[in-house]
Amino acid sequence: MKKTQSSLKIIPLGGSEEVGRNCTVFEYANEIIVLDLGLDFPTEETPGVDYIIPNIDYLKKNKNKIKAIVISHGHLDHIGAIPYLISEIDFPPIYGLPLTIGLIRERLEEFGLEKKVKLKTINLDSTLKFKNFSLSFFHVNHNIPDSVGVVFKTPVGSLVHTGDFKIDLTPTDQKPIDLEKIKKIGEEGVLVLFSDSTNATEPGSTLSEKKVAEMIDQLFSQIKGRIIFTTFSTLISRIQEVIKSAEKYHRRVAIVGLAMEKTIRVALNLGYLKVKPETIIWPQKIKKISDEKIVILASGSQGIESSALARISSGKHQLVKIKKGDTVIFSSSPIPGNERAVHNLMNLLVDQGAKVIYEPLFGIHASGHASQEDLKMIISLIKPRYFVPAYGEHYMFAAHAELAKEVGIPQENIFILNNGDCLEIDKNKNAKIIKNKVKSEAILVDGLGIGDVKHVVLRDRKTLAEAGIFVIILLADRKRRNVNNLEIISRGFVFLKESEKLINETKKKIKKIAQKYLKTKAKIIDWEPLKTKLRNQISDYLFSKTGRRPMVLPLIIEI
């Protein structure tokens, strides 16, 4: 990329084509500030992958310029990639509010990196000063305390990034979003606003956390048997409401699941949760307490197979078995892509006699993201010259752009940035997306390997999962130019015994292809082209017969 001293560059490295792996680069002259360094979770498109993280080649190339990594809040899609990437960019200091830093520290400890990383705790009045940037912060509501929006003062003008946010005038954890401060920032003049697009397609305003708290109280007052409560493990305000209602209705609380345990420990240590000392009990004691006196707080609201709730639902949990009279409350909504897994979980629970309470039937969950009316309010208060929909998928960006137009931002001042796009603003405040894109394709984390799973591997895993494998073992006689024997091994494709006819016909076809190939006049036989021929032709043949395309793997053994 060409370097011009007097222009500001903003490059999203992740989070601009998906909900997750958020990471945005702000660059001016020889300084870079990075906002968020998150991960994304795998989908059906990436079987066997643990996490997806941003490509930071651009940051690696410019690591001497990085002055700070600023984190808007402690969700994994904003902090999760730190342990995987921080060493590659020489450990620049990381800034965040206390809970955010607490959760980052917890994660770094898992990787043994806590001593190497410079973690800097800031507060809402902090200002971070660098040569070309001055950063300040404003409080927003979200599904985790200590969420902030960031103001970047730069030589060409002020930028505002909301981070993830919603407007909640009656939150249960912290104060309402600081609309006064936001208004003031707007009055001082803002060049670009980057705003959370996750709920840009949702009409109206987002439900307040207070309404959810009232619902929890109401349910707890009515339910007689055991309550098993699940929510996002970082949704501390919700966990607080559960604890509050449990204490009010004389129930003890047992926490099952590593994810939930970890956040609760960090939140308790930092004073973000208030609990009477006798309320929380060890899960081992659940059996000793009568059903109407206990709440089991379990992680696993997203149906992830290894989570506590999934193990409970499949009868594999050591301490908690579902029984008739149990009520399972899902105070969450499935993240797009997880719907099937969550519904399967609910089916299993119902089959075992539990009553399941979930959104949207009961008003038992509120999103952490602003809906259309709230988004318009923020744009109106900030009154930016340019608007960039941030954090979301393309259809969300399109919806958010429409909202911006409704409140008076002209079309030509709205920029839709893909991952790797670079928005450049010159000293005359002219903005444009420059031609050269920065590398931004997703990096896949598989076990402990980072980036060693490529698309070929993924494609193979998908084929194996969907259509099985078909192995051809060919014993070939090089001298006599003859196929001596032929074996087929197949898994996950068709049941061999029941498909004798298909297998025999396929064998005939394989022999024909091989014999024809062996008749070549060439003195030395190269097996690779034969393998390719078999792979392609047998794959097509099996597809024409079955409508499925298993992975065809020819092995040629010479005798």
Which one, 164 or 421, has the nearer CB to Zn ion?
A: 164
Which one, 132 or 234, has the nearer CB to Zn ion?
A: 234
Which one, 101 or 483, has the nearer CB to Zn ion?
A: 101
Which one, 75 or 317, has the nearer CB to Zn ion?
A: 75
Which one, 75 or 226, has the nearer CB to Zn ion?
A: 75
Which one, 75 or 107, has the nearer CB to Zn ion?
A: 75
Tell me which residues in 313-342 interact with Zn ion (CB under 5 A).
none
Stretch that binds Zn ion, among 75-83, 291-299, 429-437, 450-458 (CB under 5 A): 75-83
Which one, 9 or 75, has the nearer CB to Zn ion?
A: 75
Which one, 212 or 513, has the nearer CB to Zn ion?
A: 212
- Least Å from the CB of residue 24 to Zn ion: 14
> Beta partners for 446?
449
- Least Å from the CB of residue 145 to Zn ion: 12
- Least Å from the CB of residue 185 to Zn ion: 21
- Least Å from the CB of residue 78 to Zn ion: 6
Q: Count of residues binding Zn ion (CB under 5 A)?
A: 2
Residue with token string 């600081």:
178
Residue with token string 């047992």:
254
Stretch that binds Zn ion, among 164-172, 388-396, 515-523, 547-555 (CB under 5 A): 164-172
Q: Exposed, middle or buried, 127 (CB in 10 Å: 0-12/13-18/19+)? A: exposed
- Intra-chain end-to-end CA distance of the chain, in Å: 57
**Is the C-alpha dihedral spanning 258, 240, 323, 363 positive or negative?**
negative
Stretch that binds Zn ion, among 42-50, 69-77, 262-270, 522-530 (CB under 5 A): 69-77
Helix (H) or strand (E) segment spanning residue 212 = helix 209-222
DSSP string, 461-526: HHHHHHH-EEEEEEEEETTTTEEEEEEEEEESS--GGGGHHHHHHHHHHHHHHHHHHHT---SS--
- Least Å from the CB of residue 369 to Zn ion: 8
Stretch that binds Zn ion, among 159-167, 469-477, 529-537, 551-559 (CB under 5 A): 159-167
Which one, 146 or 446, has the nearer CB to Zn ion?
A: 146
Nearest by Cα to 475 from 559, 386, 361:
559
Which one, 164 or 173, has the nearer CB to Zn ion?
A: 164
Which one, 53 or 357, has the nearer CB to Zn ion?
A: 53
Return the axis-axis angle of helices 98-110 and 258-269, rounded to nearest 10°.
130
Neighbours of 501 (CB within 10 A): 9
- Least Å from the CB of residue 75 to Zn ion: 4
Stretch that binds Zn ion, among 74-82, 188-196, 297-305, 503-511 (CB under 5 A): 74-82
Residue with token string 């931004």:
440
**Cα–Cα distance for residue pair 146/101, rounded to 1 Å:** 10
- Least Å from the CB of residue 235 to Zn ion: 10
Do 446 and 48 form a contact (C-beta atoms < 8 A)?
yes
**Cα–Cα distance for residue pair 550/189, rounded to 1 Å:** 60
What's the gap between Cα 326 and its chain centre? 31
Stretch that binds Zn ion, among 84-92, 93-101, 161-169, 544-552 (CB under 5 A): 161-169
- Least Å from the CB of residue 272 to Zn ion: 16
Do 450 and 88 form a contact (C-beta atoms < 8 A)?
no
238 touching Zn ion, by CB under 5 A: no
**Cα–Cα distance for residue pair 390/416, rounded to 1 Å:** 8
- Least Å from the CB of residue 38 to Zn ion: 9
Out of 75, 166, 244, 262, the residue judged to bind Zn ion by CB under 5 A: 75
Stretch that binds Zn ion, among 70-78, 177-185, 232-240, 499-507 (CB under 5 A): 70-78
Is 92 strand, coil or helix? coil
Do 173 and 213 form a contact (C-beta atoms < 8 A)?
no
Report residue 3 as tokens.
């370097």
Amino acid at 109: E
- Least Å from the CB of residue 84 to Zn ion: 19
166 touching Zn ion, by CB under 5 A: no
Which one, 164 or 374, has the nearer CB to Zn ion?
A: 164
164 touching Zn ion, by CB under 5 A: yes
What's the gap between Cα 317 and its chain centre? 26
**Cα–Cα distance for residue pair 198/183, rounded to 1 Å:** 22
Amino acid at 160: V
- Least Å from the CB of residue 367 to Zn ion: 10
Stretch that binds Zn ion, among 71-79, 179-187, 418-426, 545-553 (CB under 5 A): 71-79
What does the binding site for Zn ion look like in residue numbers (CB under 5 A)?
75, 164
